[in-house]
Amino acid sequence: LGNKAMGKGFENVNNYDKAQIEFFAIDNIHAVRTSMEQLMNLCLTNENLDMAEWHTKLFQSKWLHHVRQILIGAKRVAECVKIDRASCLVHCSDGWDRTAQLTSLAQIILDPFYRTIKGFAVLIEKEWVSFGHQFEERIGHGHAEVHDQRSPVFIQFIDCVWQMLRQSPLSFEFTEEFLVSVLDHVYDCRFGTFLFNFESQRRKARYKEKTESLWSFLLAPKQSDIYVNYLYQYCDHKETQKMLQVSSDSRRIVLWEAYHMRYSKEFFECSVTPAVAAMQHSSQAHSRKKYMSVSKSHVQRTCSVIEKESGEAKQEHSKTESLIVITDCTEETTSPDPAAST
């Protein structure tokens, strides 16, 4: 009722022929902020919690519940477009929070281009930055005080992408280190990509002249190699053209440890942090490239030898065939006189 009083709310389907409305029960920014606070308190606690207490508090934070609801909604939007062949209008109260989450995730499910590093950058620029997600309000850039408009909506979206990546690791060109780096640069203000609320504010501030784009950094060849999922090249790309299969089963939705737990002392001591993982991945990538280069050279040399031997064998075979022909002709033209043979 409050949203309707402010001119928001939802459409009256009686005014639209052959239209239906579906609600996905995705909570607002205030519920998401509270959920994130509870999750961070749980992940950063120094208490030695037993398993039952840990899972109880994780359940009470409702973070995974929120992630699951968004995935359910994104799947339905994708099915509406791909399977039902219907037009789909997505909107929330304002249009720049839950709307961006659903449309972005639906496009990742439908189009394999958005599962590449470049495509993912295009998707964020299109559905989040240009569409008007208020990064300054939601992240708190430039605000010393903590206000009630802060909310980790974008973190929630990236978490959903990670859930998809975890379920279908061969279908994404990037790794989870790439997703962690994107989130880190949302908060560090090193780049101008996520500053301000609207495109008009960015143009007025001439941010393109004064700041560097995050994508020019992450998509640079030396940097992007760190974030390439080398399993991606072995996937069946005919299969990737199909709609991505995403499970919203509660048993498949898990806590993203590499992001939420990375500052936990227990996790830091017992696991590989994303920064270390990125360095290891870079080192492994260099080793793989070196090995692939050596293997490629060896294969090329082997192929050259085979081609050479094959060519010589073919020439011998051709000579043999020619000789046979010549022999036949010679036998026909110089066959001995029957009288002489007697």
Side chain identity at 226, as an amino acid letter? Answer: I
**3-state SS class at 228:** strand
Residue 291 in tokens: 């090995």
Phi/psi of residue 174, nearest 5 degrees = -105, 165
Determine the number of helices (DSSP H) and then strands (DSSP E) in the chain. 18, 0
Tokens 């830091």 correspond to 268
Residue the block writes with tokens 């996790």: 267
The pair of three-digit structure tokens given for residue 138, joined into one six-digit string: 């939601």
Q: Determine the longest span between alpha carbons in the chain, in angstroms.
A: 124
What element of type H or E holds 4?
helix 2-5
Burial label, 111 (beta-carbon count in 10 A; 0-12, 13-18, 19+): middle
Q: Are 266 and 43 in contact (CB under 8 A)?
A: no
Residue 267 half-sphere exposure, CB side, CA atoms within 13 Å? 16
Please, are residues 283 and 226 in contact by the beta-carbon 8 Å criterion? Answer: no
* Catalytic residue flag (residue 235): no
Rounded to whole angstroms, the Cα distance separating 312 from 123 reads 55
> Tokens 């979206």 identify what position?
157
Task: Name beta bridge partners: 228.
Answer: 174
Amino acid in the structure at residue 328: D
Which residues are CB-contacts of 160 (< 8 A; sequence separation ≥ 6)?
A: 67, 70, 71, 74, 101, 105
How do the residues of the chain divide into helix, strand and coil, expressed in percent and rounded to 5? 65, 0, 35
Catalytic residue among 92, 189, 303, 329: 92
Residues with active-site annotation: 92
